[in-house]
Amino acid sequence: MAQQHHRRRFRAGDADRDAILQVLNEAHVAGRLGLADLRSRQESALHAVYVDELPPLVDDLPEGSAWASDHGSHALAASRVGGSVDVSPAGQSWTYTVMTGRRIDVAPGETVRNLAVLGGDSIHLGAALGPGVTLILEVPTFLGGHTLFVPAGVRVVEETQGVLGGNTVRRKAQGDGSQGTLVLRGRQIMGGHTVRLERP
């Protein structure tokens, strides 16, 4: 009687799902996915239980090819033999906020690269900003956004691209630059950030 080989399947983690959401977001911004298709694939990604369910969601997208070359083969290998998968984009340190939020205190010399999907963090920048400091945050959003707290005197520069979204910079939070400059970058799709003055 022939022996049957059972292929082990390993469960996907939040980082695996978040990496796919980033690819889908980029494809939508590039015009490759309509809103209905985007939402359908996002739902599939968010509900994926196993790692090998994720590559089919992006294998027809150029952005997915880049993901697959960096992570897809490793993800499938992990689903077969076990192990963890690093889904951070090569050479960058990205974090993802999906349907949740947390407090982040940014230290001097640190920066933030974060994709917010259906959620957002409370990011406190008082320690990272100061006279002569320019801090660039790469913070794309999809149906979400962060609340950014800055000290008095910080100049806020928006270099984001909005699609039915955008940032709100509270009047008291827009300073003269005496305490540094905060530059916001990233695409905002039906979402955006709020910049507030940090209270003592």
Full-model pTM = 0.55
- The amino acid at residue 94 is W
pLDDT (0 to 100) of residue 73 = 45
Mean pLDDT lowest for which of 24-28, 84-88, 92-96, 102-106?
84-88
| Average of per-residue pLDDT across 152-164 | 89
Residue 7 CA to residue 4 CA, distance in Å, equals 10
pLDDT (0 to 100) of residue 108 = 86
Buried b (16+ CB within 10 A) or exposed e, 55-92: bebbeebebbebbbebbbebbbebbeeeeebebbeeee
Query: pLDDT digit string (tens) for 38-79?
Result: 888 888 888 888 887 888 888 888 877 666 655 544 444 443
| Average of per-residue pLDDT across 179-191 | 89
pLDDT (0 to 100) of residue 197 = 95
